[in-house]
Amino acid sequence: MDFTFPWSSLLGGMLLGVSAFILLLFNGKIAGISGILSGLVKPIKNDFLWRGLFLIGMMLGGILGRDAFGAHIPSEFSIPTWLVVIAGLLVGIGTKIGNGCTSGHGICGMGRLSYRSIVATCVFMVVAVVTTYVHLHVLN
Protein backbone atom coordinates (compact mmCIF):
# COMPACT_ATOMS: atom_id res chain seq x y z
CA MET A 1 0.00 0.00 0.00
CA ASP A 2 1.50 3.32 -1.10
CA PHE A 3 0.44 6.16 1.11
CA THR A 4 0.85 9.82 0.28
CA PHE A 5 -1.28 12.15 2.35
CA PRO A 6 -4.49 12.76 0.36
CA TRP A 7 -4.66 16.55 0.63
CA SER A 8 -7.16 16.84 -2.22
CA SER A 9 -9.55 14.35 -0.57
CA LEU A 10 -9.29 16.23 2.72
CA LEU A 11 -9.78 19.61 1.03
CA GLY A 12 -12.71 18.30 -1.06
CA GLY A 13 -14.28 16.82 2.07
CA MET A 14 -13.90 20.13 3.89
CA LEU A 15 -15.70 21.88 1.01
CA LEU A 16 -18.59 19.43 1.51
CA GLY A 17 -18.58 20.38 5.19
CA VAL A 18 -18.64 24.12 4.38
CA SER A 19 -21.50 23.58 1.91
CA ALA A 20 -23.52 21.60 4.46
CA PHE A 21 -22.83 24.24 7.11
CA ILE A 22 -23.99 27.25 5.07
CA LEU A 23 -27.08 25.44 3.73
CA LEU A 24 -28.17 24.59 7.28
CA LEU A 25 -27.14 27.90 8.86
CA PHE A 26 -28.84 30.16 6.30
CA ASN A 27 -31.67 28.03 4.87
CA GLY A 28 -32.23 25.44 7.60
CA LYS A 29 -31.85 22.62 5.09
CA ILE A 30 -29.75 19.47 5.35
CA ALA A 31 -27.24 18.90 2.53
CA GLY A 32 -28.25 15.29 1.99
CA ILE A 33 -28.11 14.77 -1.74
CA SER A 34 -30.56 11.86 -1.93
CA GLY A 35 -33.04 13.90 0.12
CA ILE A 36 -32.61 17.05 -1.98
CA LEU A 37 -33.00 15.13 -5.26
CA SER A 38 -35.90 12.93 -4.15
CA GLY A 39 -37.87 16.11 -3.40
CA LEU A 40 -37.72 16.88 -7.13
CA VAL A 41 -39.77 13.76 -7.93
CA LYS A 42 -42.91 14.89 -6.13
CA PRO A 43 -42.81 18.70 -6.31
CA ILE A 44 -44.27 20.62 -3.37
CA LYS A 45 -45.01 24.32 -3.74
CA ASN A 46 -42.18 26.60 -2.55
CA ASP A 47 -39.99 23.56 -2.01
CA PHE A 48 -38.90 22.81 -5.56
CA LEU A 49 -36.81 25.71 -6.86
CA TRP A 50 -34.09 25.61 -4.19
CA ARG A 51 -33.59 21.90 -4.87
CA GLY A 52 -33.24 22.54 -8.59
CA LEU A 53 -30.79 25.38 -7.95
CA PHE A 54 -28.71 23.20 -5.62
CA LEU A 55 -28.58 20.52 -8.34
CA ILE A 56 -27.54 23.07 -10.99
CA GLY A 57 -24.86 24.34 -8.60
CA MET A 58 -23.56 20.79 -8.12
CA MET A 59 -23.42 20.17 -11.87
CA LEU A 60 -21.48 23.41 -12.41
CA GLY A 61 -19.25 22.74 -9.38
CA GLY A 62 -18.22 19.35 -10.79
CA ILE A 63 -17.23 20.93 -14.09
CA LEU A 64 -15.41 23.74 -12.27
CA GLY A 65 -13.45 21.13 -10.30
CA ARG A 66 -12.49 19.37 -13.51
CA ASP A 67 -11.60 22.41 -15.60
CA ALA A 68 -10.11 24.75 -13.01
CA PHE A 69 -8.64 22.32 -10.47
CA GLY A 70 -7.68 19.37 -12.64
CA ALA A 71 -10.05 16.88 -11.00
CA HIS A 72 -10.52 13.65 -12.95
CA ILE A 73 -14.13 12.80 -13.89
CA PRO A 74 -14.19 9.55 -15.88
CA SER A 75 -15.86 9.65 -19.29
CA GLU A 76 -16.92 5.99 -19.01
CA PHE A 77 -17.33 3.38 -16.29
CA SER A 78 -15.71 -0.04 -16.12
CA ILE A 79 -19.04 -1.87 -15.57
CA PRO A 80 -21.75 -2.39 -18.24
CA THR A 81 -24.67 0.04 -18.53
CA TRP A 82 -27.30 -2.48 -17.35
CA LEU A 83 -25.39 -2.88 -14.08
CA VAL A 84 -25.14 0.92 -13.74
CA VAL A 85 -28.94 1.11 -14.06
CA ILE A 86 -29.50 -1.62 -11.44
CA ALA A 87 -27.10 0.12 -9.07
CA GLY A 88 -28.90 3.45 -9.64
CA LEU A 89 -32.27 1.87 -8.90
CA LEU A 90 -30.95 0.26 -5.69
CA VAL A 91 -29.35 3.53 -4.58
CA GLY A 92 -32.63 5.40 -5.22
CA ILE A 93 -34.80 2.84 -3.40
CA GLY A 94 -32.37 2.33 -0.50
CA THR A 95 -31.71 6.01 0.23
CA LYS A 96 -35.42 6.83 0.05
CA ILE A 97 -36.39 4.01 2.45
CA GLY A 98 -33.42 4.69 4.75
CA ASN A 99 -33.77 8.51 4.65
CA GLY A 100 -30.27 9.32 3.47
CA CYS A 101 -27.02 8.56 1.72
CA THR A 102 -23.31 9.18 2.20
CA SER A 103 -23.81 12.93 2.61
CA GLY A 104 -27.05 13.08 4.60
CA HIS A 105 -26.19 10.32 7.08
CA GLY A 106 -22.40 10.21 6.68
CA ILE A 107 -21.63 13.92 7.06
CA CYS A 108 -24.72 15.87 8.18
CA GLY A 109 -26.27 13.16 10.37
CA MET A 110 -23.04 11.97 11.95
CA GLY A 111 -22.02 15.62 12.32
CA ARG A 112 -25.15 16.18 14.42
CA LEU A 113 -24.20 13.06 16.37
CA SER A 114 -27.49 11.45 15.32
CA TYR A 115 -27.61 7.87 16.54
CA ARG A 116 -29.74 6.84 13.53
CA SER A 117 -27.21 8.25 11.08
CA ILE A 118 -24.28 6.55 12.82
CA VAL A 119 -26.11 3.20 12.56
CA ALA A 120 -27.11 3.82 8.91
CA THR A 121 -23.54 4.80 7.95
CA CYS A 122 -22.13 1.65 9.57
CA VAL A 123 -24.73 -0.50 7.77
CA PHE A 124 -24.18 0.90 4.27
CA MET A 125 -20.39 0.89 4.69
CA VAL A 126 -20.33 -2.76 5.76
CA VAL A 127 -22.76 -3.85 3.01
CA ALA A 128 -20.78 -1.90 0.37
CA VAL A 129 -17.50 -3.47 1.52
CA VAL A 130 -19.02 -6.97 1.39
CA THR A 131 -20.58 -6.25 -2.04
CA THR A 132 -17.23 -5.04 -3.38
CA TYR A 133 -15.50 -8.13 -1.98
CA VAL A 134 -18.00 -10.48 -3.63
CA HIS A 135 -17.91 -8.52 -6.90
CA LEU A 136 -14.11 -8.35 -7.16
CA HIS A 137 -12.86 -11.47 -5.43
CA VAL A 138 -15.65 -14.06 -5.60
CA LEU A 139 -17.49 -13.48 -8.89
CA ASN A 140 -14.39 -12.53 -10.91
Partner 1 sequence: MTYFIALAAGLLFGLGMAVSGMVDPNNVIGFLDITGNWLPDLAFVMGGGLLVFLPCFLLIIKPRSKPIFAESFSLSHLKSIDKKLVMGAAIFGLGWGIAGLCPGPVASSLLAGNVDVIYFFLAMMAGFALVDFTQKS
Binds partner 1 by CB under 8 A, chosen from 43, 44, 45, 58: 58
29, 52, 30: which is closest to 40 by C-alpha? 52
User: Percent helix, strand and coil across the chain, each rounded to 5?
Assistant: 70, 0, 30
Closest contact distance (angstroms) between CB of 43 and partner 1 is 12
Compute how many residues bind partner 1; rule: CB under 8 A: 111
**Rounded to an integer, what distance in angstroms lies between the CA atom of residue 116 and that of residue 121?**
9
Which residues are CB-contacts of 117 (< 8 A; sequence separation ≥ 6)?
A: 100, 104, 105, 106, 108, 109, 110
Residues 16-55 that bind partner 1 (CB under 8 A): 16-31, 33-34, 37-38, 40-42, 49-51, 53-55
Amino acid, res. 93: I
Give 45 or 81: the residue with its C-beta nearer to partner 1.
81
**Binding of partner 1 at residue 127 (CB under 8 A)?**
yes
Residues 63-102 that bind partner 1 (CB under 8 A): 63-66, 69, 71-79, 81, 83-99, 101-102
Give 45 or 136: the residue with its C-beta nearer to partner 1.
136
